[in-house]
Structure 1
Amino acid sequence: MTTRRAFTQSLLGSAALSAFGLPLAAMAQGSMDMAKILVGFPPGGTTDTLSRRVADKLRGGYAGNVIIENKPGAGGQIAISALKAAPADGSVLLLTPSSMLSVYPFTYAKLPYTLDDLAPVSVGCFFSHGFGVGPAVPESVKTVKDFLAWAKANPDKANYGSPAAGSIPHLTAALLNKLTKSNLSHVPYRGSAPGIQDLLGGQISAMCSPVGDYLQHVKSGKLRLLATSGPQRSPFTPDVPTFKEQGIDIAVREWYGFFLPAKATLEARRRAAAYLQPALNSKDLIDSMAQVGMEVQSSTPDQLAAWMKADAEQWRGFVKEIGFRADS
């Protein structure tokens, strides 16, 4: 089944390149000496993991060396801002979660970037978020409703962490708070990794974060995943029910996308897409990222632009319902 999937994705990738006017000859152009992928979060999280594995695929072909530059802070805004000042030759790419593009325009009165500052190249993956608990929560808590009842009885421990204030994991849990009329306090982190560490240590009670952040800890029994956010169960945690299955009207997935600065030349965009498509469609990359809960997928630049627009419309309504403002 995996082989068939990889073969199908390879065909789709080739078709996508042709649709964008990207003959394989685009890959034959001379390799630049150095390229880098900007990531707006610290090492150790899922964004960082995907970026490093894609960099391995691009190294030696797209550029002689491809490095990752972690620029954490401001919920991913710093990395996006850095892309604006990047050269137009394709030597600097950005890998970012969709939060910064489909949510932030509705939660911040002013941003240091606009969507017009970025040139879409390809989606990188899709994934669901998980709502998990750690040792601060008793073993008797098995479901989201169990947790909410426990949190109500223990208001001093009624909290949850997220990778960043205003991120999709944060707003997913905030929507849970709103829909269930709960009173959970939010604890924002600079990325998933430090939040998961505090969850493991019992400093926070719960965490909303990409499913992949939990997998090794759920397997070891150190953390318990109570729900996932997608419209269907995550293929990586088939025994964990969705929010919807538990009677809570939440169904969201997130994606990561690769971008160049808007001023990048058409040739630079074509070349980046020509290398990213086969990298993302490679079987070993798909299989390795499945280990951290990511469904790797590539797209054309136009498809990524369309997903950005559709997500923005969805989150415009959610943000209004939640009433969240990042800069208030």
Structure 2
Amino acid sequence: MQRRDVLKLALGSLAGAALATRPAFAQGYPDRAIRLIVPRSAGGVLDIVARQFGEWAKGPLGTIVVENQGGGGGIIGTAMAARSAPDGYTLLLGSTSDLVLNPALNPKAGYEAKDFAPISTMAISVAAIMVHPSVPANDLKELAAYAKANPNKLSYGSAGPGTMANLAGELFKSLAGTPDIVHVPYKGAAGGYADLIAGQVPMFAANITDQMVSLHRAGKVRILAVATEQRLAIAPELPTSAEAGYPELIAKLTLGLFAPAATPEPILEKLDQVTRKCMDDAGFRAQLVKAGFEPVLGIGRAETAAFIDAEQKRWTPIVMSSGLKTQ
């Protein structure tokens, strides 16, 4: 046998072995529990989606342990996920805030979007401006007028510095001409809800959840507008920011599933397939809508990567000129 024939045989054997190994590798995953990091405190919008996904995916993926790592406006948990072994056993339920806004606002965040392999976009969460019932404002125009008539009196809470809710609050201040409203950051929105209900913080910028809608309907808080173009299915009675007189007040958080960048292709493909099936499930989508989210269909790995890239190009110039800091 000639040397080139031996080389062809050897290369053919290697290729065959590689092809045989890829499916086996994917089929063997996972063989233990998967850790799903949520870079926010329990009870927030990311936590809600993570737990709903973890419950649905235990059939195809087995046990998924949701781990809340709040703090730093999402930086602590996201950086932890970025540094994790790229073996498919640590995933991130991340958002636009975590992968786009935080690295732009804080060069020392310890990670960039390129440190993650996008898997799927799952839902959109819309921010809203709300107040304690003691605040004499029934819409955004009245809130702006009250803030101007009472300088240095109002403060607003959010899930943390650099979050989409924080940007929504700052955007309202800019559009309304009320720069003296002070920001009070929390380690996740859930931690600030009690203060809002108690009147300790008179104003709040947060992403809509079924809990907040229930509190609004019970008269414990007053949601003045949702920062999106269309009314929400969960609360069609709430006006949009455009209807409230602020069409430029748009703040929507996109949530998705991510893995450390070097995670093997067969694992990423399997996770992509699982999340697509999850989003195709009408029951799962109904759960998202009930919780206050807008489900997103057909957005897999390539589409999510393209979306993150587009969001970086859109938001980076805005946050760089905003003067905001994540800490």
TM-score, normalised by the number of residues in structure 1: 0.86
**Counterpart code for 2:156:** Y
Structure 2 alignment gaps of length 5 or more: 1-22
Helix, strand or coil: the match of 1:131? Answer: strand
Task: Return the match for 1:205 from 202, 207, 216.
Answer: 202
1:170 aligns with 2:137: no
1:290 to partner: Cα distance: 1.3
Correspondence for 2:306: 306
Correspondence for 2:271: 272
Correspondence for 2:90: 92
RMSD: 2.1
Helix, strand or coil: the match of 1:186? Answer: strand
Task: Return the match for 2:116 from 112, 115, 118.
Answer: 118
Q: Distance in 2 between matches of 1:97 and 1:88?
A: 19
Q: Distance in 1 between matches of 2:77 and 2:263?
A: 17
1:292 aligns with 2:282: no
Helix, strand or coil: the match of 1:38? Answer: strand
**Counterpart code for 1:158:** L
Cα deviation digits, residues 69-93 of structure 1 (max 9, x gap)? 1111111111111112323221111
Whether the aligned pair in 2 keeps the contact of 1:228 and 1:243 (CA below 8 Å) is yes
TM-score, normalised by the number of residues in structure 2: 0.86
Cα deviation digits, residues 26-58 of structure 1 (max 9, x gap)? 985554221111001111112111111111112
Helix, strand or coil: the match of 1:130? Answer: strand
Q: Distance in 2 between matches of 1:115 and 1:101?
A: 5
Bigger CA radius of gyration: 2
Structure 1 alignment gaps of length 5 or more: 1-23
Whether the aligned pair in 1 keeps the contact of 2:72 and 2:326 (CA below 8 Å) is no
Helix, strand or coil: the match of 1:259? Answer: strand
Correspondence for 2:125: 127
Cα 1:241–1:161 change in 2 (3 A) is same
1:25 to partner: Cα distance: 10
1:218 to partner: Cα distance: 1.3
Whether the aligned pair in 2 keeps the contact of 1:286 and 1:296 (CA below 8 Å) is yes
Aligned length: 301
Task: Return the match for 2:75 from 67, 77, 81.
Answer: 77
Whether the aligned pair in 2 keeps the contact of 1:135 and 1:201 (CA below 8 Å) is no
Task: Return the match for 1:230 from 228, 232, 239.
Answer: 228
Whether the aligned pair in 2 keeps the contact of 1:76 and 1:100 (CA below 8 Å) is yes
**Counterpart code for 2:37:** L
Q: Percent identity?
A: 27
Helix, strand or coil: the match of 1:161? Answer: strand
Q: Distance in 2 between matches of 1:31 and 1:180?
A: 51
